[in-house]
């Protein structure tokens, strides 16, 4: 196990982040470096991008390794955040077998590493484990309603198996685990082509293209700004109680797709029209986190309102499209 060092009042740790060049992983890397820690980011760059961490490369406490978590990794660290996985339907359905392997074999490899080193490990799970929920909002005690053989199952079921593995390692090997169930997250460094609704709507609006709404627009999501999510992940990893999770991390503010589209059009000043398309198979009709547990155990709740977060995200995509118009 790596030796944690003390600098002033800060205990500097060496922290491994799988998926560290991804959307969430890059923000987490940035935050942990800002807190004085060393960060080893691991990414195979399937959905992660070197551009997401380019500004961190000169930091002597940051290291980036190209590696696929389906293969074992041997490093010495004090804590592990396991974020590696494609997270949007377009990406995780492109190679469903690899998606399952990344989440299941990747979890086994990272749990094995954590067990060998005797260090805590956090799993970035997902609200997708709830499937198309029949309970609303969704508390952690809800077991979900998931189609195990549908086109989304490679992600939904793989994340459920990963949770099983985490809790079995905890029970069998007394491994210190943390499991976060992450709800829809948005913000700068989302990929413009990842197919997620916030990035889709913003990019289409800025380009003057029709806004594509799948279904009749009444289905709901709850959107959490990435800075709030990162705060929640760190609070969960750092909590000194015996809390393993799962803990829902998301913003309980619930919006229909039509409401989101209207807000994006208003904030961008776009004249884009709305275009309705068929709802994809097994797409959840509603999604809203019950964050009572996060409030109680972590003293965490999101602070960034949707309109404020969208403003920052629109500014980011506006800059990206100016650099890369097509």
Point out the residues that are catalytic: 155
Burial 256-279 (b: 16+ CB within 10 A, else e): bbbebbbebbeebebebeeeeeee
* CA pair distance 128, 150, nearest whole angstrom: 13
Q: DSSP letters along 217-267, please?
A: S--EEE-EEHHHHHHHHHHHHH--SS----EEES---EEEHHHHHHHHHHH
Residues 6 or more apart in contact with residue 141 via CB below 8 angstroms: none
Answer for the pair 40, 25: CB distance below 8 angstroms, yes or no: no
Answer for the pair 86, 47: CB distance below 8 angstroms, yes or no: yes
């Amino acid at each position: 196990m790596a030796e944690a060092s003390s600098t002033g009042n800060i205990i500097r740790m060496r922290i491994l982040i799988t998926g560290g060049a991804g959307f969430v992983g890059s923000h987490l890397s940035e935050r942990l470096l800002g807190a004085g820690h060393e960060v080893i980011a691991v990414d195979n760059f399937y959905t992660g991008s070197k551009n997401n961490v380019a500004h961190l490369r000169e930091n002597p406490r940051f290291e980036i390794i190209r590696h696929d978590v389906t293969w074992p990794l041997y490093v010495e660290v004090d804590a592990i955040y396991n974020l590696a996985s494609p997270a949007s339907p377009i990406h995780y359905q492109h190679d469903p077998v690899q998606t399952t392997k990344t989440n299941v074999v990747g979890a086994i490899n990272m749990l094995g590493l954590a067990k060998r080193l005797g260090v805590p490990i956090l799993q970035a799970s997902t609200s997708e484990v709830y499937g198309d929920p029949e309970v609303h909002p969704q508390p952690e005690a809800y077991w979900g309603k998931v189609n195990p053989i549908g086109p989304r199952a490679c992600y939904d079921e793989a994340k459920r198996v990963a949770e099983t593995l985490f809790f079995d390692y905890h029970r069998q090997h007394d491994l210190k685990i943390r499991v976060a169930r992450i709800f829809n997250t948005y913000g700068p460094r989302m990929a413009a082509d990842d197919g997620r609704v916030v990035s889709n709507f913003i990019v289409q609006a800025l380009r003057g293209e029709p806004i594509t709404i799948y279904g009749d627009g009444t289905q709901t999501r709850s959107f959490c700004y990435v800075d709030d999510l990162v705060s929640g992940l760190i609070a969960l990893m750092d909590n000194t109680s015996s809390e393993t999770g799962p803990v829902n991390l998301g913003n309980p503010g619930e919006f229909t797709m039509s409401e989101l589209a209207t807000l994006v059009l208003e904030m961008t000043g776009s004249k884009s029209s709305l275009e309705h398309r068929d709802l994809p198979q097994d797409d959840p009709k509603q999604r809203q986190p019950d964050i009572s547990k996060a409030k109680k155990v972590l003293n965490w709740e999101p602070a960034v309102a949707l309109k404020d977060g969208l403003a920052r995200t629109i500014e980011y995509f506006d800059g990206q499209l100016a650099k890369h118009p097509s």
